Amino acid sequence: MIQIKDLHKSYHMGSNSLHVLKGINFEVKEGELVSIMGSSGSGKSTLLNILGMLDEADEGSYTLDNVPIKNLNEKIAANYRNKFLGFIFQSFNLINYKSALDNVALPLYYQGSPRKERVERAMHYLDKVGLAPWSHHLPTELSGGQKQRVAIARALASDPKVLLADEPTGALDTKTSYEVMELIQGINDEGKTILVVTHEHDIAQMTKRIVNLKDGLIIDDSMVEQVRASQYV
Amino acid sequence: MFSRDRWDEILEALNANKFRTFLTAFGVFWGITILVLLLALTNGLKNGVTAGFGNFATNSMFVWSQQTSKPYKGLPKGRRFNFKLDDVTALKNDFPQLKYVSPRNQLGGYNGANNVVRGTKTGAFQVNGDYPEFIKQQPMDILQGRFFSYSDINANRKVCVIGTGVVKGLYDKDEPALGTYIKINGVNFMVIGTFKVSNSQGDKEEDANTIFVPFTAFSQAFNFADNVGWLALTAHDDTAITSLKPQIMETLKSRRKVHPEDDRAIGNFDLAEAFGRVNGLFSILGVVGYFVGALVLMSGIIGISNIMLIVVKERTKEIGVRRALGASPWTIKSQILQESLILTILSGMVGITFAAGVIWVFNYVLDSNGPVENFANPSVSMSVVFTALIILVVSGLLAGLIPANSATKMKPVDALRIE
Ligand SMILES: Nc1ncnc2c1ncn2[C@@H]1O[C@H](COP(=O)(O)OP(=O)(O)OP(=O)(O)O)[C@@H](O)[C@H]1O
Ligand SMILES: [Mg+2]
């Protein structure tokens, strides 16, 4: 599903330049649930943003579902993001003046699907994350865990190939984190490929594979015995 | 471009901060209100002043004889003279560009001595001896009966058409005037019509106190022989009367043996020129109105642009999220553009409506308090409203342009990082 080879990324600030990714190679197969770990500043978010086409690598190749991701203009990148990717953010990033339902329907709006279909599908995914009764509430009326579930429903709405989650449980307490992880595991069980950036070992243990980053390089990449979140909930 | 979803998106965004939307809209509202009001007031002033010209065909001039100021061909200076009827014929022959050449003789006048008698009633009225085409030069509303015709002229019929003021002065209320006789300077004339000068402002009273008599009967009754006191000349629409003026004056001077350089011998009033001057003044006033209005409007537009910029800045993260979800830069840009466009047009429409309301109240007060000198019927035409709308659309787009561009300048990853 994902192949990256010799990925480099530097940030330039004035005369200083910071080499953040120093040659990343890895592959993710369809249906994997991968966690990316590493100390703060090791480049996890940078890597995820490049995978998400929100940012561009300086060097190296990136192939997503057999499509080479190279020299995209913003229009095509937006189209690829819409079709291929679902994002889950640490701070949820819901649009606060839109109802839960409208938030979930937004990727479908950008896809150009008709209103009725949008509402139906958004409702379906809200139901899937257990928030159908909250569909007309604004994000400000929801708890952190609920917001993240709306965000997950939104990420799923356009039926993307890959979900990218940057510390999805970073703003949540342990119990809510496990609930969210349970949801993510469920989605993965249905075959969706998911990448999760996290700091927390217990969260990482709930994925199937842990990639460890240090100073811009992968220092460890191993399969793990998946811990089901449901046993904590 | 404007699907219902787009609408919803835009209205939602504008609704998200009502107070800010209101403040933003107010600038444009105010600008367009001022613009429309200024134009309406200019128009009112123009209507008022041009109404002072009455209804007289504007491509006209008036000529009358005065005193010579130079001796010529053995004739002394200070000589009084009259135009003659054959001057009229000569002008008609020499100047095919002239549509009407109407001679007129006058008696009495406003504030003059009593000159008209009917039974026990008397009055001081202006009496004009005219040709039938005069009514084409100065349209008036015939209330009863008719204006005189060439058959009246040719038969020297002693008939007259009287103004509403004359009717009031000489007749009891509801007393029929048609067919009755009035005595002008001792000569009986039969009333064949009554009239009212439409749309005249300043000289309403004077006009109402006027009696029209066929030129021939007038000359005969009051011993004017073939003298003519006054000429009203109207040119065809394709010729400006002002351009004919020098030749006409030359012809008249040579016919009346006036020194070619004696400019005081013949008085004239060039209605076209005066009208043109007034029109020119109002064109300038109109331009000033547009200019000032446009400046005020521009500050409103800068306000919109400014606030949209802030809005875009505040929504940087939201825009980042939208782009992560698949919004293309153009989608974002056009949404910002449309937000500003809708805001501008909406507030502009409210402004136009408000201004229309103010103008209506103004007219209402004017109507109920009677006419004001040099001011009448302030109004704006549909074309002005359209111009204002076009200005609004263009300015709405301009106002949105900079913010729309700044909205997509940032990479999505940077936009998402903003807190
Ligand atoms: N836009 C940027 N401009 C300059 N430097 C940046 C930028 N983004 C990230 N960096 C730097 O790159 C390095 C890697 O950042 P990154 O966000 O990928 O780390 P991370 O592994 O996600 O850390 P954390 O766990 O704290 O989120 C950091 O030193 C960071 O300061
Ligand atoms: Mg990070």
| pLDDT tens column, A108-143 | 999 989 989 999 999 999 999 999 999 999 999 999
Q: Could you give the CA distance from residue A89 to residue B339 in angstroms, rounded to a whole number?
A: 28
Element (DSSP H or E) covering residue A218: strand A217-223
What domains can you pick out in chain A, each with its CATH number? 29-57+72-231 (3.40.50.300)
- Counting ligand 1 atoms within 8 A of each CB, the residue from A10, A13, A18, A203 with the most, and so the one to mutate, is A18
Locus of tokens 């004339």 = B189
Are B13 and B88 contained in the same domain?
A: no
pLDDT value of residue A157: 94
Question: Nearest Cβ partner of A95 from B5, B318, B408?
Answer: B318
Average pLDDT, chain B: 84
* A184 beta partners: none
Domain stops at, among B248, B271, B294: B271
Domain stops at, among B247, B271, B295: B271
Are B14 and B90 contained in the same domain?
A: no
Most confident of B5-19, B270-284, B370-384: B270-284
Domain stops at, among B221, B238, B271: B271
pLDDT value of residue B54: 64
Q: Could you give the CA distance from residue A48 to residue A87 in angstroms, rounded to a whole number?
A: 10
| Contacts of B209 by beta carbon, 8 Å cutoff, 6+ apart | B110, B123, B124, B125, B126, B163, B165, B166, B169
- What domain range is B93 assigned to? 60-271
Are B226 and B131 contained in the same domain?
A: yes
* ipTM score: 0.94
Are B31 and B92 contained in the same domain?
A: no
- Tell which atom from ligand 1 comes closest to the C-alpha of A39: 25
What are the helix (H) ranges across B104-173?
134-137, 150-154, 164-170
Are B182 and B265 contained in the same domain?
A: yes
Q: How confident is the model at residue A197 (pLDDT cuts 50, 70, 90)?
A: very high
Are B233 and B298 contained in the same domain?
A: no
Determine the angle formed by the axes of helices A74-84 and A100-111, rounding to 10 degrees: 120
Are B193 and B319 contained in the same domain?
A: no
Overall number of domains in chain B: 2
Give the residue among A180, A158, A159, A191 at the shortest CA–CA distance from A33: A191
The pTM assigned to this predicted structure is: 0.69
Element (DSSP H or E) covering residue A109: helix A100-111
pLDDT value of residue B201: 46
Residue whose Cα lies nearest atom 18 of ligand 1: it is A43
| Ligand 2 centroid to residue A59 C-alpha, Å | 21
Provide Rg for chain B, Cα atoms.
33
Above 60 in pLDDT, residue B1?
Answer: no
The answer, yes or no, to whether any atom of ligand 1 lies below 6 A from the CB of A49, is no
Residues 170 through 209 of chain A touching chain B, CB cutoff 8 Å:
none
Beta strands in B89-229 (DSSP E): 98-108, 116-118, 121-123, 126-130, 141-145, 159-163, 181-184, 187-196, 210-214, 227-228
Above 60 in pLDDT, residue A96?
Answer: yes
CA angle A97, A101, A105 (to 5 degrees): 95
| Contacts of B397 by beta carbon, 8 Å cutoff, 6+ apart | B337, B340, B341
Are B112 and B248 contained in the same domain?
A: yes
Are B48 and B80 contained in the same domain?
A: no
Question: Nearest Cβ partner of B326 from A55, A107, A115?
Answer: A107
pLDDT value of residue B110: 53
Are B242 and B179 contained in the same domain?
A: yes
- Tell which atom from ligand 1 comes closest to the C-alpha of A38: 21
Coil, helix or strand at residue B84 = strand
Are B66 and B104 contained in the same domain?
A: yes
Q: How confident is the model at residue B202 (pLDDT cuts 50, 70, 90)?
A: very low
Residues 302 through 331 of chain B touching chain A, CB cutoff 8 Å:
317-318, 321-331
For β-strands B159-163 and B187-196, DSSP reports them as parallel
Above 90 in pLDDT, residue B17?
Answer: no
Q: Could you give the CA distance from residue B286 to residue A42 in angstroms, rounded to a whole number?
A: 68
Are B44 and B116 contained in the same domain?
A: no
